[in-house]
Amino acid sequence: MACIYDVTGKCKGMLTSKRFNILYKAFHDTKFAGIHDTIMPPPKLFASELLGLLFRCTLHDNKTPMNTIV
């Protein structure tokens, strides 16, 4: 497992190394293909985008009542 830490040193989420590598490869493949240039503001760093993804996932999980998950 890979633990994703924020700037304060707190673990914000965990991913398997396989999932981490998939996301890392996808980020860099789209960057080198020029797709990031079409996004405003363009993504800068993989680490900050990954932390943002984990934050949005946490927000989504907190908004979803447990009895609606199937």
In order, the DSSP letters of 47-68 are HHHHHHHHHHHHHHHHHS-GGG
Count: domains in the chain? 1
pLDDT score recorded for residue 59: 65
Q: Is 70 exceeded by the pLDDT of residue 24? A: yes
The residue length of the chain stands at 70
pLDDT score recorded for residue 63: 61
pLDDT score recorded for residue 62: 63
Mean pLDDT of all residues in the chain? Answer: 81
**pLDDT higher at 5 or 33:** 33
Residue numbers of the domain that contains 35:
2-68
